Structure 1
Amino acid sequence: MSDSVTCTSIINLRYQDGSEGSPSNPARFKYQDYAQLKDNSLRRKRLFVDNTFPPDNRSLGDLPNLSRWQEDEVEWLRPAVKYSVLTCNFFVMQNYLFLTSPGNCWFLAAISSLTFQKHLMAQVVPMDQSFKNYAGIFHFRFWRFGRWVEVVIDDHLPTINNQLLSVRSKGGNEFWVPLLEKAYAKVCGSYADMNAGLPSEACKDFSGGVNMTYELGEAHTAGHDEKLWLQLSRATGCKSMICCGTAPKGLKICHSSFQVEYYGSKEQLVRIMNPWGKTEWNGKWSDKSDVWERVRQEDREKCFDRDDGEFWMALEDFCHYFNMVSICCENPNFIDGDLNCQWQVMIYDGSWVAGASAGGNLSYCESTTFATNPQYRIQVSIIDRKEQDDKNILLSLMQKPQHDNRKQRRSHPIGLTVFKGRLGSSFFNRNRPLKSRQMYSYNRDVIEMHSLEPGEYVVVPSTVRPNMSAEFVLSVFTKSESHAASEAPQ
């Protein structure tokens, strides 16, 4: 797909630009003001120390691959102290190959994918930072459960034997990556709380967008490749973050695709990068494959024979050797290919409270409590008749963590139920959900797309059983201005 193809932006009806929580005015995580703290440090001529995430084992946490004696060897060093300020770089875009610990590879894959999207990079990693006018303080931005937050850190980094403990650049003197990792560890609770995860989780927090995951190996059936190719092509055109992987590890990023003519037929190729900068595919269409000699010169120039972790694969091989691919984009345009439509999103904070608003699943015998769940109304005014099965509504339900620490949070199976009709007395006795079978998931983000005819609808988020207390965020994405969403009174 041509690089000139871009998705339209999202109109956020909750956080208008400039309001707290919007991209241009993120909320202050832990109530820390970066500009004020840096100014105080410069004025006092003291390097900043972050007492909310101190440079000690409390912030490190219980890392599974670190023994007790190794914990005692950890030394927290500042880059500008460990290295000469003249050779210490905050950000060098060309050097995006990293090293990391095995349990953190999911985050590494997400970071690597982020580097290909400059507009998102500038949002997550503010470009006004360097080691000039140095005060030992840095800041980063993440989308966390419905709003953008700014996270302040000091630049103490954990090391053993003068080597960074976790993520580090291949060149050794570039520090935006380990500093970004430290900021993300702070919002997760500790470095240990980042052990094991999915790249889709971090990509969501880098963009606040829509994430979809597709199974590959098991779904490699008739017609599957054509649909997947269409999704990858749309995602590439929409500047999406794309990560692929094999279980239980082996995460990589996919960042472009194109068709090449080979012996008169079209071959669909996917470009993949191994963030570790080594270990490449050595089959057909690999760097050293002789098939490149039988294509046009302009296509051959897309292949570089160098041991850098970047390579091409045929789509068929991609589906065979990888288990899954996740795509995260700022809006849902990549899903149905309608790149010209405008999306709006309304974001609601809600909660299930045991004994009050945690009514559980409609299918349980306690279904009489289902009506106590939070309810949201959607008014659909128009649908694109020219587009078959037009997906005009996307629902995203995220369960907030019940603890500050990511690994210690307890989650419930959650799901969405959609009804058509106007709310009133005995509504749930008189109406049946649009889907006969309701799916509940432990996933952090539950996504549903719907093709809804004009009319009024009710969306009910719920836990699988009654009396499961938790907080959640419901995002309602709608096409154009012809749809409206509102919270129904209880």
Structure 2
Amino acid sequence: MHFQGTSVAANHRGPPHNRKQINNIPLGLVLSCLLLLSLLLLSSGAPPQDSQTGVALTLTPLDSLHSHGSRPRPARLINVQYIVTFAFVCFLYSICQNSYLCSGNCWFLASIGALTSTDEKTKDLINQVIPADQSFSKNYAGIFHFRFWRFGKWIEVVVDDLLPTIDDDLIFVDSKTSKEFWPALLEKAYAKVCGSYADLDGGFISEALMDFTGGVHMEFVLNDEAPAYLWNIMDRAAKSQTLMGCDTYQGESREAVSSEGIVGGHAYTVTGVSKVMSKRNPVHLVRVLNPWGDTEWKGDWSDESSLWDTVSREDRKWREKLDNGEFWISMTNFTKNFETLDICCLCPDFLDRSPGCHWKSQRNFGKWIAGTTAGGSMNNIETFWKNPQFRVRIEELSEDITHEEGAENMLVSLMQNHEKRHRRSQKNYSIGFYIFKVRGESGKFSAEFFNDKTPVAKKSFHNLREVTEFFWLEPGEYMIVPCTKNPGETASFVLSIFSKHETHFEYIDETEENEDDP
């Protein structure tokens, strides 16, 4: 009997706890059959080919893999008993140990660091991505499953535990803990979703963080643009169910290391924040993890910094002299050395100090189709009206909700999806959106409506998978128009809104006629 592992989409909001299937066969039944027949799952009947791993793009020479490469199961490599523990785990990036791979999936490694560096309060996030009912001993059949949120839907991904190696060394993600194989299995499942291992070369940490949470993504530009209250937001985020990551500025060469130990063009994990008193002055600190497991910040508040001698013994407990890639850095130096901060969470309630504030989320799906609904930006006024249109009605804000720190009450997210099999073949369009104030009009708005209308808010165009923006919008009715910068570009999209208010969000049917139309 042979079962082939496949990815199964669950078309609902939450994790697909009851929709675990392989080729429409319940996952539990597959596991039972494998155990009954004493078989191990094999996702493919043939040895790994270049098309499966994508190594043709990253391995030199290829004959090294053909002559030495194999896919043993973890049990053959070491006596392993479990798939995951909830202790903090650092990872070795295989490029540090061999020259078979290019160094391009630090964004995914950093996202794994964010997922596993959390404590008990975010255990639900880990269980959501890595179901806990799996091991290499009890009911072991070589079958493992993971969950990812992909373009508005949770999908279940099943893989066998045959891991790519060269001379019994894992080629891709490796763990410093010798019996931890779940990072490699998680990477294999994610590579399957993206097309191949090579499709993990190059990306943004926000992509994987979104795929781990299915919630809301917030990006903060650092340096001079960082809001003064950003550390307070990070502090509240660290105390709730959030994942945080950051990126550095691109250096003169790929992943060049500065004199102070910061890797250029590199993704890091934010693992915590703290406030200490130094010579009676408060200092805001950020704890950052390099997913390589080494190469740390060497400046103020680093492991060897003398500034730790100026704090109390109680505060000194935060200092760890370990060459594990994790370090403390002041908020000032953090905003100078890192370009962006990404925060992903299930719900942005932590943004407000008011316990009565609960953000509500809604989501709509749409598609830009060349020649019909792909009208481009407002620079293309003759076709702009053809874009999909969505109506939003914002109710009055409750009195117990405070207005503080920017006072934004609406977050809008637009994510594009080209539905390509391989992630690297998916070329993102430049996307953005406009928000217009409307006053009770019904039906789709025609070209005449936009001739003399100025949007009350907009998101500038970026060549990214997802763009997001916070706004303050007064109670009333609005129209959101998501679009590509250029007309005639076909792609699916997910438009999501998160609001402090009671909000009504709906697609404006193209078949209806606006009462103001001639």
- TM normalised by structure 1 equals 0.88
Instruction: Note if contact 1:105-1:251 (Cα within 8 Å) is conserved in structure 2.
Output: yes
Partner of 2:235: 233
Cα RMSD (Å): 2.5
Corresponding residue of 1:183: 189
> In the aligned structure 2, how far is the partner of 1:54 from the partner of 1:150?
24
2:297 maps to a residue whose letter is W
Read off the aligned partner of 2:128 and give its amino acid letter. Q
- AA aligned to 2:126 is M
Is 1:127 the counterpart of 2:93? The answer is: no
Which residue in the other structure is 1:243 paired with?
245
Question: For the Cα contact (< 8 Å) 1:245–1:324, is it kept in 2?
Answer: yes
Q: Check if 1:74 corresponds to 2:69.
A: yes
Deviation at 1:358, TM superposition (A): 1.2
SS in 2 for 1:372: coil
The 2-side partners of 1:26 and 1:113 are apart by: 27
Are 1:408 and 2:418 counterparts?
A: no
Extract unaligned runs of 5+ from structure 1.
1-17
Is residue 2:223 matched to residue 1:202? no
Contact 2:81-2:135 within 8 A present in 1 as well: no
* Equivalence for 1:114: 115
Q: Is the 8 A contact 2:429 2:464 kept in 1?
A: no
Letter in 1 for 2:134: Q
1:299-340 C-alpha deviation (Å, 9 max, x unpaired): 112222333332222222222332332221222334455564
Q: 1:401 to 1:271 in 2, by over 3 A?
A: same
Change (3 A) 1:260 1:201: same
Question: Aligned equivalents of 1:479 and 1:31: distance in 2?
Answer: 41
SS of the residue corresponding to residue 314 of structure 2 reads: helix
8 Å contact kept, 2:459–2:469: no
- Which letter does structure 1 place at the counterpart of 2:373? S
Q: CA shift at 1:23, angstroms?
A: 1.8
User: Does the 8 Å CA contact 2:430/2:463 hold for their aligned counterparts?
Assistant: yes
Q: 1:140 to 1:438 in 2, by over 3 A?
A: closer
* Structure 2 residue 4 is the aligned partner of structure 1 residue 22: no
Structure 2: unaligned runs, 5 residues or longer = 1-9, 96-102, 251-263, 511-518
Residue 43 (structure 1) aligned with residue 57 (structure 2)? no
Distance 1:77 1:179, change over 3 A: same
1:380-434 deviation line (CA, Å, top 9, x unaligned): 1113675166322221111013411000013211111111113346433463311
Question: 1:325 aligns to what SS in structure 2?
Answer: strand
Find 2:441's aligned residue among 423, 426, 445.
Answer: 423
Q: 1:245 to 1:466 in 2, by over 3 A?
A: closer
Equivalent AA in structure 1 for residue 15 of structure 2: P
CA contact (8 A) 1:75 1:159 kept: yes
Task: Establish whether residue 253 from structure 1 lines up as the match of residue 248 from structure 2.
Answer: no
| 1:79-117 alpha-carbon deviations (Å, 9 max, x no partner) | 123333xx3432233361111242221111000110113
Identify which range, 177-186 or 234-243, moves more after superposition. Answer: 234-243
Q: 1:99 aligns with which of 81, 88, 92?
A: 92
Q: Per the alignment, do residues 250 and 454 of structure 1 end up closer, same or farther by CA in structure 2, a change over 3 Å counting? A: closer
Match of 2:371 in 1: 355
1:348 & 1:99 partners in 2: Cα distance?
40
CA contact (8 A) 1:392 1:451 kept: yes
Cα distance between partner residues in 1 of 2:459 and 2:276: 43
Matched letter for residue 278 of structure 2: Y
* 1:246-325 equivalence runs, <5 A: 246=248, 247=250, 248-325=264-341
1:450 is aligned, of 455, 471, 479, to 471
Deviations 1:261-295 (A, max 9, x none): 11121111111223333232233222233322222
**Alpha-carbon offset, residue 26 of structure 1:** 7.0
Rounded Cα–Cα distance in structure 1 between residues aligned with 2:12 and 2:218: 28
Select 1:434's aligned residue among 456, 471, 489: 456
Q: How does 1:339-418 map to 2 (within 5 A)?
A: 340-364=356-380, 367-383=381-397, 387=403, 390-418=407-435
Find the aligned partners of 1:371 and 1:249 in 2 and give their Cα distance. 39
Provide the C-alpha distance between the structure 2 equivalents of 1:257 and 1:128, rounded to a whole number of angstroms. Answer: 32
Distance in 2 (alpha carbons) for counterparts of 1:321 and 1:228: 15
Contact 1:151 1:183 in 2 (8 A): yes
Cα displacement string for residues 219-258 of structure 1 (whole angstroms, at most 9, x for unaligned residues): 27xxx47333223223223332111232343332122112
Distance 2:50 2:349 in 1: 44
Higher relative contact order (CA 8 A, sep 6+): 1
1:423 is aligned with what amino acid?
A: E
